[in-house]
Structures are given as C-alpha cells and as structure tokens.
A and B are shown apart, each in its own frame.
Chain A
Amino acid sequence: MSIALALVAAASLLPAVALFLQMREVSTAFSTATDSVSALERQISPFATALRGHAVAGYFSPRSDAKTDVAAARNRFIVQYSLAPTILVADSTQRLVVADCAEVPSCHALAGAAGLEVERDFGSGWLLLRRPVR
C-alpha cells in the first residue's frame, strides 16, 4: 500500500523537480513580458492614441499574404489585439490605414501607388497612412 501511495506522490512531484532544475539553468526566469505579443504591443502602442475614436481602420502589409502565411497572419492578429477596439480590415481603401512595413524599404512608394499618404511614421517600419479626401 505504501508503495502505491509513494508511486503516485513521486510521479506527481516529478514536474516540480524538473521545474527547479530548469529554472536553475534559465537566467531569464521571471523576466517580464519577453514574449512576441508584448514586444509587438510595445512597438505599436503609439497607434492606439492615433486611432482613438476610429471604429474601423485598414491594415496594409506588403510583406506577404496574411491569408496564406501563418507568421503574417499572426502578426496581423497581434496588431488587431493591441489596437482593439478599432477593427482592422485588410483593405487599404479605408481613410486611415495601419501599415506594417518592417523590412520593406519600398513601403512609401507602395503606399503612394495605392493612393495613400504617410500621416505618421512611428519607426521600425510602422506607418499610419491616410487616404486623402478628394
């Protein structure tokens, strides 16, 4: 009987032992907000103020197609999560458009070709674009 009790208890405590061994090796344990969602949210936080009061805005990323590329889709979803309650639609005909142009040097030209003007450049490839009123 004692064997049965000891077995269940020992098996249950294995993750605890593993955790302590792991934490001894990992120097970043308990470091704050090191994940990709937090990092991206910090980057694009200035958009939140700029988009305040706008229920819908466009989302423009010339890097890849968010419908087929998981990484691009993930990026777009995180941006949506960060900028809620503004709804981001994959449509550059909106009045305000959030552009994710990291690693795309020709983004300004692409935006211009799409008939958009740069409203603000937040750095790291993040642009707020505006469609001029005609």
Chain B
Amino acid sequence: MNALALFLLAAPIAATLPLMLALGAPPAAAAALAVGVGLGASSIGLLLSLLAGSGGLLVAFDATVVLAGLLAAARLRYPHVRKEPWRPVQVLGCALLALAAGTALVAFFANAFAKPHGEWDAWAIWNLRARFLARAGADWRNAFSADLAWSHPDYPLLLPGAVARLWTYLGATPTAVPVAVALLFAAATAVMLYGALRDLSGRSPAILSALALLGTPLFLEHATWQYADIPLGFFFLATLALLAEADRWPERGWLAFLAGVTAGLAAWTKNEGLLFAALVVAVRGASALVGSAAERAAFRRLALGMCPAAVVILLFESFIAPGGDRFNEPWTEVWARLSDPARYGQVAAALATEAARLARWVGAALVVYLVLVGPAAPESRRPSYFTAAVVLLTLAGYVLIYVVTADALAWQLRSSGPRLLLQLWPSVLFAIFVAAASPHERSMPPAAIGERARRQVNRRSAAASWRRSA
C-alpha cells in the first residue's frame, strides 16, 4: 500500500478522532471509535456521491469531515482520563498484552499474504460489491443486479463502501485496502474493549478483557477472512460500552449520541445490525419511559445519533437495494416451523456447541476467574445488566430467525452460527468484566472500596464543575 493510500485511509480516521474526544470519549476508546465512525462516514460519503453522480461530492464530503475534525481539535479542552497508578502486575499484564497483540499481527499478516482476497463471504459479497462500485463508473448500479442475487446485493454497504472509496481515489483495486480495513476493525475492537473497561472498571479488567479477545482464535480467523462480522461486533460493543459510560457519567451525555451513531452504523454494516439497533431503541426507550429526566434526555440523544445512518439506510433500501423475496412465503409454512419444538432444540444445541468452540480455553478461564473474584459492587456492575439484556435479546432474535428459516437448518447453523456468536463475543466480554469485581477491588477491605468510590464521585463532581466553569 503506497503513501497516498495510507493517507486516504488515515484521513477520515484522524479527522474523526478529535470529534470523538470532544463528545466525551476517553482517549483509547476515542481512537477505536474514530476507526469505526471514520470508515463508516467514508462509506456514506461514497454512497451519496454515487447517488448524486458526482465524484466531486465525495471530495467535498471528505473535506467536510476533515474540516469538522479540525474545528473540534481547535476547541478540544478536557479529554476524559481516569487517573490510576500503575501496579507491577499491570505492567506484566501490558507486556503479555503486547505479546498477544504481536502474535495476532503475525497470524493476521501470514493469513493475509496467503489469502489476500479473504474467505468466501469477503470475495463473494463484500469485495465483489466494492469492485463493482469502484470499477463500474456510471454503471455502478450493476452491483445490485438480479443476476448477482447469489451475492446478496441487498446487504448494506458500510464495508464495501469504505473499501470502494479508497479504490475510487486510487484508480485501482489493490487487495491491501480490504486487508487494511479488516485489520483496523479488529484492532479497534480490542482497543475499544480496553478503553471502555479502563474507564469503567480500571486498568486490570481492561488488560484482561483485551487479552481474552486476542486469545480467541475465531476472532483472529474471521478478521483475516475480512468478514463483516468483525466490524459489526465492533459497533455492537461500541454502542453498549458508550451507553454504559453515558449512564455512569451523566455530564458526558453526548456519549449517548455517539452510541446512537455506532448503533446506526451497525445497521449499515449487516442486516443483523438492524435487529440490534431496534432492540437498543426498544430497551432504552422502555427504560426512559419509566425512568428519570436524565434517562429520557439520554434516549433523545441516542435516537438523534441514529438519524444519519437511518436516512442512509432508507435511501439505500428505497433507491438501490433490490427487493427481497424472503417474506413472500405463506404464513402457514412459517408458523409450522415456528411451532416445531424440535427446531428450537436443534438451534439451541448447535449454538451451545459453537459457543463452547468460540470461547474454548478463554471461556473456561473466565468461569474460574468469575468464581474467584466474585461480582463487582452493585453500582459498578449496573451497566452489565443492560448489555446482557441487549445481547440476550439479540441472541433470541437470531434463534427465531434460524427457527423460521426455510433453508436447510443444519447447514445454516453450521455455516453462520459461529459468526453470529462472534458478533456478540466482544460485548459478552465487556459485560463479564464490568460485572466482575476488579482484581484490586477484591483485594481491598470493604472500607477502602467505599473510600475509593467516594473519591471517584468527588472526582466526577469536580470534572463536572470544571466543565461548567469552562
């Protein structure tokens, strides 16, 4: 990948970073969010320029993103950083994390060199679509032709759009671009997990969670395969982590807006993201109805953040995506499958097997870890309830989709089961480490925990009053 390609890839990410910081994201999480939101915005820019039939619009869109980033950088005052002294065990943990990250990189590049086009879904769906968008010029709508029905032309365009934007600028379609995008999303997921937990629970759970993610072979495998499930898993995690932070620090309420943006981008990545975004709205909306004024304000910001992606998805569904035939089946047949208990058993058994395969040694170690450290203090573990609720509801949605599918169920479960679970895995790790006591919290006497909680509340109040005075 040459310098121009690197610059074009980095520009929307670098421009988005100060915006993330200005909206209250802590530095590590902001860097991860900049990758997701920056690449998501770039895919939207490409779609708008294609619809308008003007390459100039793509340049104007990118220039606007960069300008917004510069303005945010100029006004940036107080990035939120949680102060915490380093402990020797954390230094060791960081060294192990660096080792795991280095190994993950070696594995990623070894696979990317051997398979630069990725695996089946990457070349048959995402990169195929990106090639059409970048190479077809005025005939870009051919990417959604009925003759390509086997490649799911109704799937949303975040991933192919981000890749095609770079290819359009370069005037060529090097495989290094989708490889780089896949690597960025995988790295952003690990950094997001670290950054959010560093903010919410401290450095030790943050290091352990990132280690656990990088120690999941299926995660690394799917990252090198260039599958959209890794970006989708990133957006799931980002949404849930940002909402947890917005709840913990009401003075950083714009994090709920950012959560809306990432939930919208999840829906712009894969159809499963639509289910996830709808569930986030439903659960948060229900809790806002009976909750406080602050919760209602957070919900309004969440909904506002979803608007840009919702408009883009509406444009895509109305003017570009071919109509599907999946809902044309008679209801009697759907009901017959829905009321067949054997199908539920088959789905549950297959998903349980795949979950065990996904978590493997890390899952077993996490169970022992949870038993040994016990639950976090009630206030600390509260965000894990919402995360767990959304993850379980999304999983329930997946189960229902499997149950009603007209395709061969065993084949569907075998081919897509691991990927669907992988989408939820980073969020599951987040929920586990928020719910578990921090190792150092566990080793403190109860009085010390109370004192630490009091200091944290004082620090938050100080930060809030500092912001008001600023």
A residues neighboring B (CB under 8 Å): 1-5, 7-16, 18-20, 23, 28-35, 37-38, 41, 55-56, 73-74, 77-78, 80-81, 84-85, 87-89
B79-115 CB contacts (< 8 Å) to partner A: 89, 93, 96, 99-100, 103-104, 106-107, 109-110, 113-115
B115 near A1 with CB under 8 A, answer: no
Q: Nearest-CB distance from B137 to chain A (Å)?
A: 8
Nearest 8 Cβ contacts at the A-B interface = A12-B215, A11-B365, A85-B136, A16-B103, A12-B211, A4-B372, A11-B361, A84-B131
Considering the complex, give the chain A residue whose CB is closest to the CB of B367: A7
CA A89 to CA B104, docked complex, whole Å: 40
Q: Nearest-CB distance from A43 to chain B (Å)?
A: 14
CA A87 to CA B366, docked complex, whole Å: 49
B443 near A31 with CB under 8 A, answer: no
Residue B300 lies at the interface, judged by CB distance under 8 Å to chain A: no
A11 in complex: contacting residue of B136, B364, B373, CB < 8 Å: B364
A15 near B99 with CB under 8 A, answer: no
A81 near B128 with CB under 8 A, answer: yes
A19 near B106 with CB under 8 A, answer: yes
A84 near B132 with CB under 8 A, answer: yes
Binds A, one of B141-149, B253-261, B281-289, B378-386: B141-149
CB within 8 Å: A-B pair count: 140
Query: Can you list 7 pairs linking A and B with CB atoms under 8 Å apart?
Result: A1-B373, A4-B372, A12-B208, A19-B103, A19-B107, A81-B117, A85-B136
B99 near A89 with CB under 8 A, answer: no
B362 in complex: contacting residue of A11, A55, A89, CB < 8 Å: A11
Given A7-B368, A84-B128, are A31 and B103 also a contact pair (CB < 8 Å)?
Answer: no
Residue B308 lies at the interface, judged by CB distance under 8 Å to chain A: no
B439 near A30 with CB under 8 A, answer: no
B365 near A7 with CB under 8 A, answer: yes
A5 near B439 with CB under 8 A, answer: yes
Scoring A31, A56, A77, A88 by chain B CB atoms within 10 A of each residue's CB, the highest score goes to A77
B123 in complex: contacting residue of A2, A8, A12, A81, CB < 8 Å: A81
B115 near A35 with CB under 8 A, answer: yes
Q: Nearest-CB distance from A66 to chain B (Å)?
A: 10
B439 near A80 with CB under 8 A, answer: no
Given A8-B369, A14-B361, A77-B151, are A37 and B93 also a contact pair (CB < 8 Å)?
Answer: no
A37 in complex: contacting residue of B100, B123, B150, B215, CB < 8 Å: B123
When distances are taken between beta carbons in the complex, the residues of chain B under 8 Å from A81 are 117, 123-124, 127-128, 131
Q: Per DSSP, are chain B's interface residues mostly helix, strand or loop, or mixed? A: helix
Residue B296 lies at the interface, judged by CB distance under 8 Å to chain A: no
Number of interface residues of B (CB under 8 A): 54
Scoring A2, A81, A84 by chain B CB atoms within 10 A of each residue's CB, the highest score goes to A84
CA A54 to CA B128, docked complex, whole Å: 17
CA A23 to CA B57, docked complex, whole Å: 47
B217 near A15 with CB under 8 A, answer: yes
B369 near A7 with CB under 8 A, answer: yes
CA A81 to CA B175, docked complex, whole Å: 13
When distances are taken between beta carbons in the complex, the residues of chain A under 8 Å from B93 are 5, 9
A13 near B110 with CB under 8 A, answer: no
Residue B116 lies at the interface, judged by CB distance under 8 Å to chain A: yes
When distances are taken between beta carbons in the complex, the residues of chain B under 8 Å from A11 are 212, 215, 361-362, 364-365
A8 near B113 with CB under 8 A, answer: no
CA A10 to CA B104, docked complex, whole Å: 15
B96 near A13 with CB under 8 A, answer: yes
CA A87 to CA B139, docked complex, whole Å: 11
A38 near B110 with CB under 8 A, answer: no
A37 near B117 with CB under 8 A, answer: yes
B215 near A14 with CB under 8 A, answer: yes
Considering the complex, give the chain A residue whose CB is closest to the CB of B366: A8
B362 near A35 with CB under 8 A, answer: no
Considering the complex, give the chain B residue whose CB is closest to the CB of A2: B89
CA A102 to CA B208, docked complex, whole Å: 52
When distances are taken between beta carbons in the complex, the residues of chain B under 8 Å from A84 are 128, 131-132, 135-136
Residue B204 lies at the interface, judged by CB distance under 8 Å to chain A: yes
When distances are taken between beta carbons in the complex, the residues of chain B under 8 Å from A3 are 368, 372
When distances are taken between beta carbons in the complex, the residues of chain B under 8 Å from A4 are 368-369, 372-373, 439
Residue B248 lies at the interface, judged by CB distance under 8 Å to chain A: no
When distances are taken between beta carbons in the complex, the residues of chain A under 8 Å from B439 are 1, 4-5
Apart from A8-B362, A16-B100, A20-B103: 15 A-B pairs, beta carbons within 8 A: A1-B373, A4-B368, A5-B208, A7-B368, A12-B211, A13-B103, A30-B113, A32-B114, A33-B113, A33-B114, A33-B115, A77-B150, A80-B128, A81-B123, A88-B147
